[in-house]
C-alpha cells in the first residue's frame, strides 16, 4: 500500500500537466514512461497483493457467503438466507461470549499502564541490567501460548497449586482459580496480561527512547518537575506508541482463544463464564459441525472488531500527537 | 519507534482484523483428492486409517497375515493421532480421498453412515456373521438395520477400588452382588475428610459414570430410534441423582476439585477409595507403582437392574473406495477370529470376537479382569445419534449446574432434555 503511494505521486503531476500540442514525441515518451512505471509498480506489488487476495480477501468473502448457508458435515451447503443471523440474535451463548470477550478486552487494556511503568523504570538513563530485565519480561511473548497455559494451570490448581500454597502460608484459603465461576475469567485475563505485557513494554520503551533528551533539559530549565514532565512531555510524545499498542491490544484480546482452550477446556464448570467469541466459533464449527453458523459468528466478530478499531482511529485525533 | 507512518499502521490493524475472518473459509476447502489405491501390474493397494500408535504393530501383523492369503493385495497403514483423526477424516471423506478401510467409533458412526460415507456390509460375499461379537457391540454399528462396521475391540466399565483404603476402613471388598445401597454405604464409610480421602470420584463423565447409572436406574439417555432425549424420564434423573448426592454429601470431591485434578490421578494417588473406570485402565494401573498391585476391580453395583456401557471400535469401508471388493475382503479379515487372536496376544485391547478375550484377561493376572467380561450380558450400547457431539456439549453445560449444586438435578435434566430434543430435531431423518 505504501509502495503504491510512493510510486503514484511523482507520476500524478506529470499526468495533470497539459502537454504542448507540438511536443508529441515528448508526450508519447512520457506516456510510455508512465506505462512502464505502472508495470513495474504492478510487478513489485504482485507478490503481496496476490498473497493478500488469495489468503485474506478471498477467504473473507467466502466466509461472508458461507454465513448465509447451512452446512452438511461432509461439505455441501445450502443457502439459508438470514437464518444463521436470526438464530444468532437469540443466542444467549453469543451474548455471554461477547460480554466475556469485552472483559478480556478491558482487562487487557489495563496491561498498558503496567507496561508503561515498567518501560519508564527500565528506560531511565544509567539503569544497569536493562537487557536482562527486558529479556525476562519479553520471554512470555516468545513462549508458546499452550505451554504458558499449561504451566499456569499448575500454578492455579486449587489443592496443590503454588499460588494457593503460598496463600495458605499467610492464612488465606485460596479458591479453585480456574474452575470457580467467580474467579476464572480474571485468572484467564491475568495470564493474557502477563504474556503480552512484555511486548507492549518493548514498544513503549522504543517510544520513550526516541524522545529527544533536550526536551527534558529545556523543561527542567523552565522549572517543570518530574510529574509535570511526564504529563506535558512524555505522555503526548509517547501517544503514537500508546495508540498503536491500544489498537493491537483490543484486536488481540477480541480474538482470545488458546488460553481459554487450554486453561479452561471443554468440561470446566466455569466455561460459560470464560468462553470467548472465538471459542464459541470453534465449538460450533469443529465440535458441533455447524459451519455456516460459525461463519456468521466470525463475521459478527469481524464487524465488531472493525467498528471498535474505527472508533479508536476516530478518537485518535483527540489525544494522539505526531511530533 | 519505526511504525510511524499511517499507512503501515492501518495495514497492520487491517490485516489483523482480516486474519480473523479467514479461519472458517480456510477450513472449508476440501482436501485435494488423490486416489488412494492404484492398480499397477494387477496388484491392488489399499490404505488403512487408524489413530492409536500403540496398536500399529498388532495391525501390521494382521496385515502380514492378510497379504499372505491375498498376494494380489497390499495394505499400508495411515496413522493419524487421535487429536486430528476426525477432523482429517471428515475433510478427506468430503474430498473423496478417505482411506479404503478405517477405524470408526460409536459417537461418530451414525454421522458417517447417514451421510453415505460408509459402504454397507450386507451385500458382501461371504455375508459377515455378526453373531460372533457381543450383540450390543454389533448393534452399535447398525444404521437403519444395515450393518456398516465389523466390531474390532470393546471396553466395558468396572468398579476399581483401592485395597489399602478398604482395609483401613474395615470395609469388605466390592463383589458382583453389590447393589447401590452397598456402594453408598461403603462410600460413606471410606470417606475421611481429615486425610483428604473420598469414597469415590463422581466425575461428570458419561461413559464411565452417569450413563451407567442411568441405565442401572432403568432410564435412558436417548430413545431406541435415536430421535428423543431420555433425560426427562424420572428414572434417568434417579441415575443422575446417584452422583449429585455423592457430591452433595462430600463423599466425592467437588466438580471444581476434579476439574483441577482428574479423578484418575486422585485415585492413583490414594485420594479416592473407588473409581468407576474402563477396561482400558488396566494398562494404566499396571504401569503405575502405586496401583500396580494396590488396586483391583469388580463389576458395577446394581441399581434397579445391572448395566454397564459397552463401547468398541469397528472397521468400516469407505463408500467411494476405488477397490470395493478388495476393501471388503480386508474388512472381513479384520473382523475374523484369526485377526482377533493376533490382537488378543498383544494385550492392549479386548478383541471383539467372542472366545478370544481370555488372552487379554491373562495379560494382567493381578486384577479380576473377568469382571469386565462377566458384565457382557447386561451391557448397554454407548448412546449415540446422528450428531452425537452436538448434545454431548449440552450434557456438559447443563449437568454442570446440578453437579456444582447451583440447580436441582431435575431442573438441569429437564433443561437438558429440551435442549437435546431441539438438537435432535435439527438432525433430520
**Which residues of chain B are within 8 Å of residue A178 when distances are taken between CB atoms?**
259-260
Measure the CA–CA gap between B383 and B211, rounded to whole angstroms.
Answer: 8
Those of residues 79-138 in B touching chain A at CB distance below 8 A are 87, 90, 93-95, 111, 115, 117
Residue B118 is given by DSSP the state: B
Over the stretch A252-267, which tens digit does the pLDDT of each residue have?
A: 999 999 999 989 877 7
CB within 8 Å: B111 and A72: no
- Where residue A3 falls among pLDDT bands split at 50, 70, 90? very low
Contact between A223 and B21 under an 8 Å Cβ cutoff? The reply is no
CB within 8 Å: A73 and B25: no
Name which of B5, B21, B29 to mutate to probe chain A: the one with the most chain A Cβ atoms within 10 A of its Cβ.
Answer: B21
Measure the CA–CA gap between B94 and B111, rounded to whole angstroms.
Answer: 13
Decide if pLDDT at A131 tops 90: no
Nearest to B49, CA basis, from B73, B77, B75: B77
Strands (E) across B378-420 are located at 379-381
**Which residues of chain B are within 8 Å of residue A66 when distances are taken between CB atoms?**
24-25, 28
Give the domain ranges of chain A: 13-54, 92-319
Mean pLDDT of A48-71: 92
The C-alpha of B70 sits at a distance from chain A's nearest C-alpha, in angstroms, of: 33
Rg (CA), chain B: 24
Asked if A60 is an interface residue toward chain B (Cβ–Cβ < 8 A), one would say: yes
**Which residues of chain A are within 8 Å of residue B111 when distances are taken between CB atoms?**
73, 289
CB within 8 Å: A73 and B12: no
Instruction: Please give the pLDDT value at position A22.
Output: 59
Contact between B37 and B100 under an 8 Å Cβ cutoff? The reply is yes
**Which residues of chain B are within 8 Å of residue A306 when distances are taken between CB atoms?**
17
- Where residue A190 falls among pLDDT bands split at 50, 70, 90? very high
Asked if A274 is an interface residue toward chain B (Cβ–Cβ < 8 A), one would say: no
Mean pLDDT of A53-75: 90
Nearest CB to B18: which of A56, A206, A207?
Answer: A56
**Which residues of chain B are within 8 Å of residue A2 when distances are taken between CB atoms?**
5, 7-8, 11
**Which residues of chain B are within 8 Å of residue A60 when distances are taken between CB atoms?**
18, 21-22, 25
Name which of B4, B5, B27, B28 to mutate to probe chain A: the one with the most chain A Cβ atoms within 10 A of its Cβ.
Answer: B28
Nearest to B325, CA basis, from B131, B152, B123: B123
Decide if pLDDT at B202 tops 90: yes
Instruction: Please give the pLDDT value at position A1.
Output: 37
Beta bridge partners, B298, equal B159
Instruction: Please give the pLDDT value at position B126.
Output: 64
- Where residue A230 falls among pLDDT bands split at 50, 70, 90? confident
Those of residues 141-200 in A touching chain B at CB distance below 8 A are 156-161, 176, 178-181
Decide if pLDDT at B11 tops 90: no
Higher pLDDT, B287 or B9: B287
Higher pLDDT, A298 or B8: A298
- Where residue B31 falls among pLDDT bands split at 50, 70, 90? very low
User: Which set of grid coordinates corresponds to residue B368?
Assistant: 479380576
CB within 8 Å: B7 and A299: no
Nearest CB to A56: which of B12, B22, B87?
Answer: B22
Over the stretch A145-156, which tens digit does the pLDDT of each residue have?
A: 889 998 999 999
- Where residue A276 falls among pLDDT bands split at 50, 70, 90? very high
The C-alpha of B304 sits at a distance from chain A's nearest C-alpha, in angstroms, of: 29
- Where residue A323 falls among pLDDT bands split at 50, 70, 90? low
User: Which set of grid coordinates corresponds to residue B257?
Assistant: 476439585
Question: Distance of CA A253 to CAs A223, A257, B117, Å?
Answer: 41, 9, 40
CB within 8 Å: A281 and B23: yes
Mean pLDDT of B46-66: 92
Decide if pLDDT at B6 tops 60: no
Instruction: Please give the pLDDT value at position A7.
Output: 39
Over the stretch A91-105, which tens digit does the pLDDT of each residue have?
A: 999 999 999 999 999
Measure the CA–CA gap between A71 and B387, rounded to whole angstroms.
Answer: 13
Q: Which residue has the cell 480473523?
A: B20
- Where residue B28 falls among pLDDT bands split at 50, 70, 90? very low
- Where residue B125 falls among pLDDT bands split at 50, 70, 90? low
Instruction: Please give the pLDDT value at position B124.
Output: 63
Sign of CA dihedral A270, A273, A276, A277: positive
* Percentage of chain A lying above the pLDDT 70 cut: 93
User: Which set of grid coordinates corresponds to residue B369?
Assistant: 479382569
3-state helix, strand and coil shares in percent for chain A, rounded to the nearest 5:
75, 0, 20
Measure the CA–CA gap between A156 and A34, rounded to whole angstroms.
Answer: 64
Asked if A210 is an interface residue toward chain B (Cβ–Cβ < 8 A), one would say: yes
Taking CA atoms, what residue in A is nearest to B206? A267
Query: Crossing angle, helix A58-66 and helix B6-28, to 10 degrees?
Result: 50
Decide if pLDDT at A9 tops 50: no
Tell me whether the omega of the peptide bond preceding residue B126 falls within 30 degrees of 0, making it cis. Answer: yes
Name which of A59, A83, A254 to mutate to probe chain B: the one with the most chain B Cβ atoms within 10 A of its Cβ.
Answer: A59
CATH architecture of residue range(s) A92-319: Orthogonal Bundle (1.10)
Mean pLDDT of B353-379: 89
Nearest CB to B393: which of A2, A60, A287?
Answer: A287
Measure the CA–CA gap between B404 and A179, rounded to whole angstroms.
Answer: 11
Instruction: Please give the pLDDT value at position B134.
Output: 87
Instruction: Please give the pLDDT value at position A128.
Output: 82
Of A270-274, B105-109, B126-130, B320-324, give the lowest mean pLDDT range.
B126-130
Nearest CB to B25: which of A66, A244, A289?
Answer: A66
Instruction: Please give the pLDDT value at position A74.
Output: 80
Those of residues 71-100 in A touching chain B at CB distance below 8 A are 72-76
The structure's pTM equals 0.79
Over the stretch B68-84, which tens digit does the pLDDT of each residue have?
A: 999 999 999 999 988 78
ipTM of the complex model: 0.73
Decide if pLDDT at B214 tops 80: yes
Rg (CA), chain A: 26
User: Which set of grid coordinates corresponds to residue A31?
Assistant: 506516456
Decide if pLDDT at B348 tops 80: no
Burial zone of B429 (CB within 10 Å; 0-12 exposed, 13-18 middle, 19+ buried): exposed
The C-alpha of A92 sits at a distance from chain B's nearest C-alpha, in angstroms, of: 13
Contact between B92 and B306 under an 8 Å Cβ cutoff? The reply is no
Taking CA atoms, what residue in A is nearest to B86? A286
Decide if pLDDT at B231 tops 60: yes
Instruction: Please give the pLDDT value at position B387.
Output: 84
CB within 8 Å: A160 and B27: no
Burial zone of A253 (CB within 10 Å; 0-12 exposed, 13-18 middle, 19+ buried): buried
Over the stretch B137-151, which tens digit does the pLDDT of each residue have?
A: 888 899 988 999 999
Mean pLDDT of A61-72: 91
Mean pLDDT of B108-131: 84
- Where residue A159 falls among pLDDT bands split at 50, 70, 90? confident
Asked if B3 is an interface residue toward chain A (Cβ–Cβ < 8 A), one would say: yes
Instruction: Please give the pLDDT value at position A21.
Output: 53
Nearest CB to A158: which of B11, B94, B256?
Answer: B256
**How many CB contacts within 8 angstroms connect chain A with chain B?**
158
Measure the CA–CA gap between B260 and B217, rounded to whole angstroms.
Answer: 30
Burial zone of A131 (CB within 10 Å; 0-12 exposed, 13-18 middle, 19+ buried): exposed
Of B32-36, B41-45, B62-66, give the lowest mean pLDDT range.
B32-36
Taking CA atoms, what residue in B is nearest to A209? B1
Mean pLDDT of chain A, nearest integer = 87
CB within 8 Å: B22 and A63: yes
CB-based burial, B301-330: b 16+ in 10 Å, e otherwise? bbbeebbbbbbbbbbbbbbbbbbbebbbbb
Amino acid at each position: 500500500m505504501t509502495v503504491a503511494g510512493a510510486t503514484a505521486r511523482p507520476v500524478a503531476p506529470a499526468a495533470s500537466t497539459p502537454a504542448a500540442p507540438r511536443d508529441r514525441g515528448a508526450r508519447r515518451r512520457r506516456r510510455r514512461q508512465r506505462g512502464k512505471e505502472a508495470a513495474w509498480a504492478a510487478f513489485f506489488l504482485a507478490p503481496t497483493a496476490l498473497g493478500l487476495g488469495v489468503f485474506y480477501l478471498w477467504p473473507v468473502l467466502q466466509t461472508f457467503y458461507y454465513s448465509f448457508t447451512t452446512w452438511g458435515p461432509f461439505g455441501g451447503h445450502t443457502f439459508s438466507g438470514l437464518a444463521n443471523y436470526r438464530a444468532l440474535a437469540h443466542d444467549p451463548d453469543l451474548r455471554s461470549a461477547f460480554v466475556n470477550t469485552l472483559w478480556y478486552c478491558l482487562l487487557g487494556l489495563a496491561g498498558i499502564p503496567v507496561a508503561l511503568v515498567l518501560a519508564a523504570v527500565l528506560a531511565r538513563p544509567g539503569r544497569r541490567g536493562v537487557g536482562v530485565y527486558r529479556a525476562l519480561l519479553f520471554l512470555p511473548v516468545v513462549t508458546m501460548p499452550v505451554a504458558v497455559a499449561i504451566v499456569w494451570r499448575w500454578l492455579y490448581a486449587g489443592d496443590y497449586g503454588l499460588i494457593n500454597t503460598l496463600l495458605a502460608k499467610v492464612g488465606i484459603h485460596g479458591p479453585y482459580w480456574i474452575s470457580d465461576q467467580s474467579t476464572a475469567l480474571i485468572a484467564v485475563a491475568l495470564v493474557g496480561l502477563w504474556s503480552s505485557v512484555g511486548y507492549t513494554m518493548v514498544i513503549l520503551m522504543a517510544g520513550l527512547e526516541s524522545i529527544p533528551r533536550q526536551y527534558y533539559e529545556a523543561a527542567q530549565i523552565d522549572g517543570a518537575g518530574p510529574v509535570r514532565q511526564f504529563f506535558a512531555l512524555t505522555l503526548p510524545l509517547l501517544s503514537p506508541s500508546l495508540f498503536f499498542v491500544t489498537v493491537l491490544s483490543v484486536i488481540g484480546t477480541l480474538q482470545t482463544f488458546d488460553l481459554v482452550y487450554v486453561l479452561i477446556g471443554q468440561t470446566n464448570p466455569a466455561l460459560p463464564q470464560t468462553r470467548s467469541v472465538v471459542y464459541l466459533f470453534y465449538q460450533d464449527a469443529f465440535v458441533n459441525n455447524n459451519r455456516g453458523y460459525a461463519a456468521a459468528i466470525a463475521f459478527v466478530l469481524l464487524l465488531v472488531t472493525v467498528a471498535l478499531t474505527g472508533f479508536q482511529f476516530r478518537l485518535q485525533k483527540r489525544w494522539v500527537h505526531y511530533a | 519507534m519505526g511504525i510511524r507512518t499511517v499507512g503501515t499502521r492501518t495495514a497492520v490493524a487491517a490485516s489483523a482484523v482480516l486474519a480473523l475472518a479467514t479461519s472458517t473459509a480456510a477450513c472449508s476447502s476440501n482436501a485435494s483428492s488423490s486416489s488412494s489405491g492404484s492398480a499397477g501390474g494387477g496388484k491392488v493397494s489399499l490404505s488403512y486409517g487408524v489413530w492409536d500408535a500403540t496398536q500399529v504393530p498388532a495391525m501390521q501383523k494382521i496385515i502380514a497375515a492378510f497379504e499372505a492369503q491375498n498376494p494380489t493385495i497390499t495394505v499400508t497403514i495411515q496413522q493419524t493421532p487421535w487429536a486430528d483423526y476426525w477432523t482429517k477424516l471428515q475433510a478427506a471423506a468430503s474430498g473423496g480421498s478417505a482411506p479404503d478401510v478405517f477405524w470408526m467409533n460409536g459417537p461418530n458412526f451414525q454421522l458417517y453412515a447417514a451421510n453415505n460415507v460408509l459402504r454397507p456390509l450386507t451385500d458382501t460375499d461371504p455375508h459377515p456373521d455378526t453373531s460372533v461379537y457381543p450383540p450390543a457391540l454389533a448393534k452399535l454399528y447398525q444404521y437403519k438395520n444395515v450393518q456398516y462396521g465389523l466390531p474390532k475391540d470393546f471396553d466395558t466399565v468396572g468398579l476399581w477400588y483401592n485395597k489399602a483404603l478398604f482395609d483401613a476402613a474395615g470395609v469388605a471388598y466390592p463383589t458382583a452382588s453389590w447393589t447401590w445401597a452397598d456402594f453408598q454405604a461403603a462410600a460413606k464409610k471410606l470417606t475421611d475428610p481429615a486425610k483428604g480421602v473420598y469414597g469415590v470420584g463422581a466425575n461428570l463423565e458419561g461413559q464411565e459414570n452417569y450413563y451407567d447409572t442411568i441405565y442401572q436406574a432403568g432410564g435412558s439417555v436417548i430413545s431406541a430410534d435415536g430421535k428423543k432425549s431420555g433425560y426427562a424420564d424420572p428414572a434417568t434423573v434417579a441415575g443422575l441423582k446417584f452422583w449429585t448426592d455423592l457430591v452433595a454429601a462430600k463423599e466425592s470431591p467437588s466438580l471444581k476439585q476434579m476439574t483441577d485434578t482428574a479423578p484418575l490421578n486422585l485415585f492413583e494417588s490414594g485420594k479416592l477409595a473407588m473409581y468407576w473406570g474402563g477396561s482400558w485402565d488396566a494398562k494404566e494401573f499396571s504401569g503405575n507403582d502405586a496401583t500396580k498391585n494396590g488396586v483391583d476391580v469388580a463389576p458395577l453395583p446394581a441399581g434397579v437392574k445391572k448395566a454397564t456401557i459397552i463401547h468398541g471400535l469397528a472397521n468400516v469401508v469407505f463408500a467411494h473406495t476405488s477397490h470395493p471388493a478388495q476393501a471388503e475382503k480386508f474388512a472381513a479379515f479384520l473382523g475374523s477370529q484369526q485377526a482377533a487372536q493376533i490382537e488378543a496376544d498383544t494385550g492392549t485391547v479386548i478383541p471383539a470376537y467372542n472366545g478370544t478375550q481370555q488372552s487379554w484377561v491373562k495379560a494382567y493376572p493381578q486384577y479380576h479382569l473377568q469382571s469386565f467380561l462377566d458384565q457382557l450380558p447386561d451391557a448397554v450400547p454407548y448412546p449415540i445419534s446422528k450428531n452425537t457431539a452436538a448434545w454431548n456439549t449440552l450434557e456438559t453445560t447443563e449437568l454442570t449446574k446440578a453437579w456444582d449444586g447451583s440447580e436441582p438435578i431435575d431442573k438441569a435434566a429437564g433443561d437438558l432434555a429440551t435442549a437435546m430434543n431441539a438438537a435432535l430435531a435439527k438432525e433430520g431423518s
